Amino acid sequence: MGSCCGKKKAVSPAYKQEVYRARSPIIERHDEQDYSAMQRISNIALTTNNPHQLLTGYQDEPRASLEEALEPVDGKMDNLVHHIKEAKAKCRYPSDHGLSRDESAAIYIYTMKWETRCVHNQLHRALSSGDRSQVKPWFMYLKLLKSALDKLPTASTGVWQGTSFDDSLNDKFSSKSASLYTSLGSCSPSEEEVQKYLQKRSGPKRMFIRYESVNGKLVTGYTASKSNEIIIWPGMKVGVSKYATVDDHGSIIAHLANKTSKYDFT
């Protein structure tokens, strides 16, 4: 498993989402979206704060087109109108799963990478802020995205994320008092794919996380990349069901299992 410890990232105390980013090597343009998918999978989808207060109410937003859903956050992204058109042109439609074009494009644009001010980056910045006033403009888009995900198959096996070792997150895995909840994030169905990615882009001490029964939605074929990807939604309480050190560097695997019968909110 691979090189030196990853550094801890500063996070907002209000909505403490553990986010990890691998260093970015020079990559070919045609590989950019697949590389972006693996970056998403290395951003650990956990928070110690129940997301209910931050996100409750998005379900009450009116149904909207992708243009309408992203209009409240238009100024936060570069060339948004152009990228909405691209997403609607390239998304999977007609859909085998009954998604509308706007629903399919909502998934596609979430996985598109352009510059630094794209949907994924700006949405996660708002979620990580812990400030409901920053998240609320995203409510219509979140409703459209959730509507799309609800129509897709649920992963039937455990799904994976991985990152450089982080002492703070490891402490939470071993704590008997810390609560952990899923946050919005991407996973891989393959531990091997996560390992290959981290071998090139992290130190030898790593963390591998397997989520079990968290209703991850299979979005492969609906994204901007060719990578296999599963999206998990915020709000499911999880607990450590298995924890093991896996090499001489101290890398660990943590299995996180659903501790609730459903999400705290849908």
- CATH assignment at residue 202: 3.90.176.10
Q: What is the pLDDT of residue 180?
A: 94
Q: Splitting the chain (266 residues) into consecutive groups of 10 residues, what average pLDDT does each group show?
A: 42 38 36 82 92 94 97 93 97 98 98 90 93 97 98 96 94 87 96 92 93 96 95 95 93 92 55
Q: Is residue 7 part of a domain?
A: no
Q: Residue type at 119?
A: V
Q: Is residue 266 part of a domain?
A: no
Q: What is the pLDDT of residue 177?
A: 81
Counting Cβ atoms within 10 Å, is residue 101 exposed (0-12), middle (13-18) or buried (19+)?
middle
CA distance readout (Å), 247 to 4, 191, 231, 256: 14, 15, 29, 20
Q: Is residue 237 part of a domain?
A: yes
Write the CB contacts of 141 (distance below 8 Å, at least 6 apart in sequence). 66, 69, 70, 73, 106, 119, 123
In this structure, the strands spanning 230-232 and 237-245 are: unpaired
Is residue 204 within 8 Å of residue 192, measured between CB atoms?
no
In this structure, the strands spanning 230-232 and 180-182 are: unpaired
Q: What is the pLDDT of residue 261?
A: 56
> Considering Cα of 58, then 60, then 66, then 67, what sign does the dihedral take?
negative
Predicted model pTM: 0.85
Q: Is residue 122 part of a domain?
A: yes
Nearest to 91 by CA among 81, 102, 105: 105
Q: Is residue 247 part of a domain?
A: yes
Q: Is residue 8 part of a domain?
A: no
- Domain extent for 205: 17-258
Return d(Cα 101, Cα 80) in angstroms, integer: 17
DSSP the chain: --BSPPPPPP--SSS-EE----------GGGHHHHHHHHHHTS--EESS-THHHHTTGGGSPP--HHHHHGGGGGGSTTHHHHHHHHHHHS--S-TT---HHHHHHHHHHT---SS-SHHHHHHHHHHHT-HHHHGGGHHHHHHHHHHHHTSPBPSS-EEEEEE--HHHHHHHH-SS--EEE-SEEEBS-HHHHHHHHHHHS-B-EEEEEEESS--EE-TTSSSSSS--EEE-TT-EEEEEEEEE-STT--EEEEEEE-SSS-S--
Q: What is the pLDDT of residue 102?
A: 98
Tally of structural domains, the chain: 1
Q: Is residue 1 part of a domain?
A: no
Q: What is the pLDDT of residue 30?
A: 40
